Structure 1
Amino acid sequence: MASAAHEEFELGKKHEEILEKRALLLQQMEALYEQQKAKKKQQCLMSQAAHKRNAQLLQDLENVEKNLHTRQLLHPDVIHLETRYWASVEQKLPEWEQYLLGKGQAPVSETGTSFGQQRLRSGQRHPSPVHGRGKPPRPKPR
């Protein structure tokens, strides 16, 4: 009989340990559940903010698109002149590239004079304090 009482005591002890572990696991599960709930709530708020930002961006894009469609177009003559100007710039760029990079002389026109010297002859004032060099002056340090 003593062994039965001892067995019952051991079983009661194991039962208490199991109940303690169960209570601890329940507390851990509740804490984890609360964390997940808080994280889900934060993600929901972040999602709502992102939707709001996206809606605002779409509205801004629609406004810009509407402004572009309603913007007054330039006169065809102005567009033609602008197109000719940029075509001329692209055509002359290889000739002027080394000069503009500061690695060479100004290009020479068909008459044998540089373009800067032609301006001087036509009565315009040369931008450089040293006439005939073809390069503008460097800015003074401040």
Structure 2
Amino acid sequence: MASNPNDEAELSQKHEEILGRRAVLLQQMEICYEQQKAKKKQQAMTSQAAHERNMRLLEDFQKVENCLQTRPLLHPDVINLETRYWASVEQKLPKWENYLLGKGPTPASEAGPLQRLQGHRGTQQDSSPARDKGKPPRPKPRSVV
């Protein structure tokens, strides 16, 4: 089979182009591979650092847990008083909730001693129409110098 010299030159030129593109692709693949290796190495280092940090945190938590376990307990009378205090707070909270949220007056049953104390302070505060009797007085504005 006799081939035309022009065809051979064309084929040779295409072959050279293909080899050139192949070399460029191989070079790009090597660069990509090196980048992936570097990224993997960096991730391994980051992972190792995180693992060491987590181990230190676990050790710190273990130390704190040991300290809390060896801490002396409160006296039973103190625990009893604390329990009774919180039970009292929980019992009276529904009555005081509106007042504490600023939505209502003080509860009537609890206002007796408070009103008596306010009554002894004088008539100047009582004559103020803007004052709500269930709330403490607002602070006076300060002058800026």
Q: How high is the TM-score relative to the length of structure 1?
A: 0.75
Residues in 2 aligned to 1:67 and 1:53: alpha-carbon distance in whole angstroms? 21
Contact 1:106–1:114 (CA<8 Å) still a contact in 2? no
The runs of 5 or more residues in structure 2 that have no matched partner are 127-132
- Corresponding position: 1:85 with 2:85: yes
2:129 corresponds in structure 1 to: none
Q: Give the aligned partner of residue 14 of structure 2.
A: 14
Give the counterpart letter for 2:93 in structure 1: L
| C-alpha deviation, 1:141, in angstroms | 4.9
Could you report, residue by residue, the CA deviation over 1:77-112 in whole angstroms, capped at 9, with x for unpaired residues? 0000010011011111111122222222222239xx
Q: Indicate the SS of the match to 2:109.
A: coil
Aligned to 2:37: 37
SS at match of 2:23: helix
In structure 2, what residue type is equivalent to 1:53? R
> In 2 relative to 1, CA 82–49 (structure 1 residues): closer, same or farther, beyond 3 Å?
same
1:99 touches 1:105 (CA, 8 Å); kept in 2? yes
1:19-57 CA-to-partner distances (Å, cap 9, x unmatched) read 212211211111111111111111111111211221122
Distance 1:92 1:115 in 2: 16
Query: Do the aligned partners of 1:105 and 1:134 also contact (CA within 8 Å) in 2?
Result: yes
Alpha-carbon spacing, 1:41–1:104, altered in 2? closer, same or farther (3 Å): same
Moved more, 85-94 or 12-21: 12-21
| SS of residue paired to 2:105 | coil
Over the aligned positions, Cα root-mean-square deviation in angstroms equals 3.1
Partners of 1:55 and 1:141 in 2: CA distance: 55
Matched to 2:115, the amino acid is: Q
Identical amino acids, percent of aligned pairs = 67
TM-score by length of 2: 0.74
Alignment of 1:1-142 (within 5 A): 3=3, 5-109=5-109, 114-117=112-115, 120=117, 130=125, 133-141=133-141
Q: How many residues align?
A: 134
- Cα distance, 1:140–1:44 mapped onto 2, change above 3 Å: farther
Distance 1:69 1:141 in 2: 51
Distance 1:140 1:27, change over 3 A: farther
Runs of 4+ in 1 over 6 A off after TM superposition: none
